[in-house]
Structure formats: structure tokens, C-alpha cells
Structure 1
Amino acid sequence: MSTLLETIYLANQIDQESIDFQARILERSWLSNQTSIPPSLTEIPLKKSLTSVQTETMTTIFTSVDDLLKKNKLSPRSIDILITNCSLHAPTPSLSAMVINKFHMRSNIKSFNLSGMGCAAGILSVSLANDLLKVHRGSLALIVSTEALNTHWYIGKDRSMLLTNCLFRMGAAAVLMSSNDQDRGNAKYELLHVVRTNKAKDDRAYRCIYQDTDSELKQGVSITKDVITVAGDVLKMNLTTLGPLVKAFEHFCIHTGGRAVIQAMEMNLNLTEEDIEPSKMTLHRFGNTSSSSVWYALSYLEAKRRVKRGDKVLQIAFGSGFKCNSAVWRCIREVEPDTDNKWLDFIESYPVDVPDSISIRPC
């Protein structure tokens, strides 16, 4: 984080007051020095360009998809349905077309690209895949969730827009879902329920996370002070629907929207420190990777070997709009951590003590 702060300072594109504000947020963010930002944002001057953001998304998406296909010994041509989601980078051709081109997928693949759907889009993609798999029985779906930092990196003075610089980090996840009975032996989880709640009809909810330009016409994404209150309201609506369907969960994978989000979930759901551990450690190690963060949290649980057959896992995420999406999975076999699990190399050192505040500024 000190390197990030130094880069922001040396880039000389924002005033000292805005730099100090970002430093204060970073010091209380729970993020560690191991989180990642794209190389384009560590150069001086910062390189905000279409080429840079394409390089960023290709790096995360291609790596995730390639690892997943190799691990499962699958040909790209075996994929019947492809869903990509990224909120703030929507190029032409689309990200789904980019994946099809890279991996030479079939010409009759059913592809979808979701943009502008926020951090809850990963679970939304699961919902879409689930519906499609019910219609197209015996099919295999690939979901790819990521976010682009270069696109929305903000270099102005609006504090509500500077927050995204402090919280969001580089990451992606690729997931397979199948409606082919022959794949059940390879599957780890069975999807039980998906609940989607959208409060966009309410102006305060609609604008609490909002892409806009500031008074100097610099583009960014603002996060207002209403976001925690709105998230609490939408969470209650979502769980009111979900509650009668599932009585208890063994594990929780909460979207790593930030320290305030995780603490609010801990309080509202009366969770224990162990319940929030996967999300808290994910935020600390990887930052807010947007829609992919619920998969990082699940990978943490798997690396810790905590998920047992029959356990139910709740994934829950918030996103612009304002949305709250939840998914309930049941583990259907003993789960060993995958060899490419990103936590494996350092999982023995976790959980770590995450201080409420650190110092990253020179005395």
C-alpha cells in the first residue's frame, strides 16, 4: 500500500488533501500489502487507456479460464454456455467474444456478457447459468467474473469517488456449472437456491453507487454514505425471501465490499468471528475483487478443509443498482483444495491478526 500511495503522490495528478484522505482510508481498510493492482496504475504517469484495461482483463480472465479447463481436463469446445461479467469495462467485441476467440470455442456456443451489474454480478451469473441449464439439459456452462481497475481509477478530488481507489483490487474467478448427470461425480456442490433482490426503483438506492463525472468533469464511481443503510435494507428483503427456504448454514462467503460491509453483516446476521473469517481474510489478502470475491472466500474455506459433505454454504453479495444476491450451495462430496487454489501457498499462516489501523505514511 505504501507503493500505491507513493505512486499516487509522484504522479502529481491530485492534490495533497486527496492523497491524505486516501492514506487514511487505506490505513483503516483491512487491506494488506499483498493485494494487486495492474501495472498500468503503478507507472508514472498513470496509464489510463483502452490498451491498458484490455491487457488487465485479458491477464485475469485468460489465466482463470486456462487454469480451470486444464484442471478439469476439458477442451474449450466442450463449453455449451459462456457468461462473462465485468461492470466497468464493456468493449466491442465483448469480453465473452474475447474468451471465445482466445480459446477457439464452438460457433454455436450460447454466450452472454453482463456489464454495469456491480459486485453482485457473480451470483447473478450463477442465476442466469442455472436458468439456462434447466432449459438446455446436459449442458456445461462456464462463468467468468472479473472487474477492471484501470477504467474507473479516479484522479480527482471528490472523496466519494476516491473510495474505489482504496478498496478495489485486481482479480478474477472462473466457475463451471453443469446439468449433465454424468458430471455429478466431479461436482463439489449442488445449487439449492438463488435469491435476487433489486431496489433500483428507490432513488437513494439507485444512486448510492453511481458512475458519474465530478465538478471538473473527471469520471469516477461515487460511493455515498447511504450505502451501508441501503445494503442493510436490501439484505433484509433478500433474507426474508431466503429464510423460509433454508434454516441454517455451516459457512458464509460474504462479498468483500470493504471493512464496513463485513462488520455490518457480522452485526445484522449475528455472525461469529469464524463465520466472517473467510471474507475478512480475503479482503486482507486480495482486497475487494468485486464479483469474484465470493469465490475467493469459498476457496479459503476449501484450503482450510472446513467444507464437509452435506454442509450448506451461503454466498451473498451487494452491487450497484442497488442489488443483493444470494446463493445457497450444498457440498455433495468431500472437498480437497485444488492444486491451483490461490490460498494454498500461504494458508497455514491464516487466519492472521488484522489490526484496526496501520500506518503507511512517513512520520
Structure 2
Amino acid sequence: MTLAAANLLLRAAQRFATIDFLYQLCALRHIHLLLTVILATVIIYLIRRPRAVYLVDYACFRTSNECRVPKASFFENARLSPFLRDSTIDFIARVLERSGLGEETCLPHAHHYEGQDCCLDEARAEAELVVFSSIDDLLAKTTFISLDAIDALITNCSLFCPVPCIADRIMNRYKLRRDIRIVNLSGMGCSAGVTAVGLARNILQVLPWGSHVLVVSTETLGPFYYKGNTRSMQLGNILFRMGGSAMLLSTCKNKARFKLTHVERTLVGADDGAYRCVYQEDDREGNIGLTLSKDLMAIAGDALKANITATGPLVLPTSELIKYLLFSAARKVLHRRNIRPYIPDFRMAFEHFCIHVGGPAVINSVQLGLGLSDEHVEPSRMTLHRFGNQSSASVWYELAYIEAKGRMRKGDRVWMIGFGAGYKCNTAVWVCTRPSVDAKGPWASCIHRYPVNV
């Protein structure tokens, strides 16, 4: 081989080596680019991923014998009222007998005597008694968290909204931080407690990790006693009772009792019938009261169905979802509307149910619609019997009942269902992370007597 040929081969080899190096460099750059994209995607996902929200603890207002109103006393006050006709008194007696209420439910002092008048100061005193007692009990349970650690406060009371509001009164009483976020909800009815929990979850998503939100749910009854003779307005007087709850939520898992996995809000207020089914207005005599429509149960059922449709795919096991899809497909393919739609078995998704204690009809309707056993609705019926309808706070008394009975286990799932004016059906799903070590709370003095036959 000549020298020229050797040089030519050498230059060709060098050229091929350079090209191979460039190919390797390009491949390396592609790998680096791919790794960079993957890393950036993971970082963005971790940043934008919703934070887990936990219930650190909760407390319920513990009623006292001073506020107790047996059914005989309630009826006697109605009988002596100068405003009520005999037909209205007979109606109250019939409904009271079938109300599911026991003899230990409580009403504010303004409802304990003939006349039923309540001034603004008495209404404030009632609200402060319930709210401050609940918060004090909660703070006693969470001594490891200081008041300065509370970053936001949410209160809900539908009927009573004084100036300053209840949230401001809490801030003044407990001397909370000046930069705390405050939200005061009103007029949202009995489902406002679940609404407040959902709002707390959203606020915790934008606050620094480890922040805390205090949620307080109650209803003030004193100034809203109905003095007229419209029967649909008298139902509120008969069923509603004193009650309140305080909950502390956080994004920190340390010492938390429950994990919030889902909140679903269903609003059907665009329909005029649903909008007016729970409506505060004047009767023909000018008395303000809360009207409950005769279509309330049907509207509540429709709202619950819509809520179940949204919640079911997130909580039900695959087997139940497949059954539901097969039944739905069969109805469409066969054009047989007489085939009843399949109702998924929610007992496979939840161990415990906290159904709003709107009254026996509400509890029975939900039990029938979801195919629940008497044990599943026992917390609702017993809460109605012992405490009455406590509006937005009632679901927390039901949760306390389950724990007082020692039925809560780690990993158990709880479904809270609330109905409210507007009309709304709001639900929350909790998973127990740390069962209660004691059964103290609103049921401490009477849990040994329950369940009772209603």
C-alpha cells in the first residue's frame, strides 16, 4: 500500500470516528433532554398535586340539663301560647309523637317559657355558649397545637348573622393572630358544615404546608321561633334543637385522627321548586318562619342521586361499577324503562354512614334508597332521639356516637351526607387514621343507654 493510500484511509477513519462521536454526542444530549423533561414533569406534578388534608380532632357541644325540654314541656308551652289555634296545637302533638325525639333534647332559654321572645343579647349569649364550649373542648383535646398555629377560621350559622359576625367574636375571645383568614357562612342550611369542610380543604391547598384551619358549625334558634299557624313552618320549631361542633383541619398528618379523601357538593337551586323547598318567608299574618315544601323528600332524593353519580366512581369497588354499567347498558339496548336502575352497594365502600338527621322521613328515605341496614343508620336515629336536628353540626354527633360505641377502627371509611336549603346535597368521605383512645364527648353520660327503640 502506498503512502498516499494509507493517508487516505487514515483520513477516512478519522472522519468516521468524528461522525460516530457526533452521533454519540447527539444521543447523549437526547438522553439528557429526556431526563430533564421527566424530572421537570415530576416536579410540576408534586407541586400541583393536591395536598392531603387531615382532621386533627373535633368536639361537639355538650348540652346541659338546664336547657332540657321534654316533649311534654314543649307541648305545654305550645298549648299555653296565645298565638296558636287548637288545630295547630293538635298538629304539633301528632308530629311531636312521631318525630323520633327523646326526652333530653335541648332548646335555648328563650324557648322555655310562654311568649318565646328572644332579644339580640340573648341570641348572642346562646351562640357564644354553644360555640365557645365546643372550641374549648377541642382545644383541650389538641393541647399540642397553640392558638397561634391556626391560620384560618371558618364559621357557619344559617339563620343568625349578627354584626360583628360569629367569626369575629371567636377571634376576639381567643385573641387569634391578626393575619388569620376569616370566612363566615350564613343562609346555607343544614349542609353548611360539609361546605365549610370543603372550603377549609381548598384554603389549605394554598397555605404553607402544615397550616391549620378551625371550622365551627352551629345554629342559633332563639330569635327564630315561629309564632304562626302555618303547619309547614311549625316543623322547624318541633325538630330543631341546640347543638354545635368545632373541627381542626391541617395538611400535617402528625397526630391526625381522620384523612379527608373527597368532598362532593351537589346544587340543584337552578330549579325553582328545589330553590323554594326550604324557604324563609312571612306567613299570611306577617310571622317569619321557615317553610318546608311537601316536595322536599323528592327533591332531596334527586339531589342525593346526582351526588351519588359523582361520588360513586371515586369510592365504589370495580365490581359494583361493572354491575352498574351493565344494568345501564341493558336499559338502553333493550329500551326497557321498566328495568329498575341498579343501585350500587355502598356498604362495600363505607363502614359507617353519618346521615343528616333532618327527621325520621329523611333517615328512612336514605336508608331505603341506599339499601342500608338498621345498624348503618343507628347513629342518625340515636342522634335525632338524644339531640334532635342540630342542623349542620348533626353529622359530627353521629361520628361521635360511632366512636363512643367503640365501632371505629383504623382504616374505616365514613360517609357524611348533608342536605341543606338552596337546595344542596353535600357529602364528605373520611378515612380513620387514629381511633379515639376514649369515648368522652357529647355521649359520655348516656352512651350506655343507647341504642333505644324509637
User: Is 1:202–2:302 an aligned residue pair?
Assistant: no
Once residues 105 and 330 of structure 1 are traced to their aligned partners in structure 2, the CA distance between those partners, rounded to angstroms, is: 30
Over the matched positions of the two proteins, sequence identity in percent amounts to: 47
Q: Which is richer in helix?
A: 2
Instruction: Establish whether residue 27 from structure 1 lines up as the match of residue 128 from structure 2.
Output: no
Q: 2:79 matched to 1:14?
A: no
Verify the 8 A CA contact 1:164 1:221 in the aligned structure 2: yes
When Rg is computed on C-alpha atoms for both structures, the one with the higher figure is 2
After superposition, residues 205-354 of structure 1 pair within 5 angstroms as 205-247=274-316, 248-339=349-440, 341-354=441-454
2: CA distance, partners of 1:189 / 1:97: 28
**Cα distance, 1:54 vs structure 2:** 1.1
Q: Hey, what's the Cα distance between the residues in 1 that align with 2:116 and 2:84?
A: 12
1:190 aligns with 2:262: no
Q: Give the Å deviation of 1:345.
A: 1.6
1:103 partnered with 2:179: no
The counterpart of 1:139, out of the listed 211, 217, 226, is 211
Deviations 1:42-79 (A, max 9, x none): 12322222122111111100100111112211433321
1:357 equivalent in structure 2: none
CA distance in 2: counterparts of 1:270 and 1:25, whole angstroms? 26
- Aligned Cα RMSD in Å? 1.0
* C-alpha contact (below 8 Å) 1:120/1:291 kept by paired residues: yes
Q: What is the distance in 2 between the residues matched to 1:337 and 1:112?
A: 32
Q: Quick check: 2:279–2:421 contact (8 Å CA) kept in 1?
A: yes
- 2:43 paired residue number: none
Aligned partner of 1:41 among 111, 127, 137 = 111
Q: What SS does structure 1 have at the residue aligned with 2:75?
A: helix
- Write out per-residue CA displacement over residues 1-51 of structure 1, whole angstroms, 9 at most, x where no aligned residue: 111111222232222221111111110000011000001111232222212
**Structure 1 counterpart of 2:313, which letter?**
P
Q: Is the 8 A contact 1:305 1:336 kept in 2?
A: no
Q: Contact 2:116–2:225 (CA<8 Å) still a contact in 1?
A: no
Within 5 Å, give how 1:76-155 maps onto structure 2: 76-136=147-207, 137-155=209-227
How many angstroms apart in 1 are the aligned matches of 2:98 and 2:229? Answer: 20
| d(CA) in 1 for partners of 2:133, 2:409 | 28
For residues 287 and 115 of structure 2, what CA distance do their matches in structure 1 show? Answer: 16
Q: Distance in 2 between matches of 1:334 and 1:100?
A: 30
* 1:360 corresponding residue in structure 2: none
Cα deviation for residue 338 of structure 1 reads 4.7
Q: Distance in 1 between matches of 2:394 and 2:119?
A: 25
Retained in 2: the 8 A contact 1:255–1:318? Answer: yes
Q: Distance in 1 between matches of 2:382 and 2:276?
A: 29
Tell me the CA shift for residue 129 of structure 1. 0.1
Q: Over residues 199-234 of structure 1, what are the superposed CA-to-partner deviations in whole Å (9 max), with x where a residue is unaligned?
A: 000000000000000011110000011100000000
Structure 1 residues 54-63 or 7-16, which shifts more?
7-16
Name the SS for the 1:190 alignment partner.
strand
User: How many angstroms apart in 2 are the aligned matches of 1:320 and 1:7?
Assistant: 28
Unaligned runs of 5+ in 2: 1-70, 317-348
SS of the aligned residue for 1:33 comes to coil
Number of residue pairs aligned between Structure 1 and Structure 2: 350
* AA partner of residue 240 (structure 1): T
TM-score (norm 1): 0.94
One-letter amino acid matched to 1:334: P
Q: Write the distance in 2 (CA, Å) between the matches of 1:32 and 1:351.
A: 12
* Cα distance in 2, alignment partners of residues 257 and 244 from structure 1: 27
Deviations 1:102-146 (A, max 9, x none): 111111110100000000000000000000001103211110000
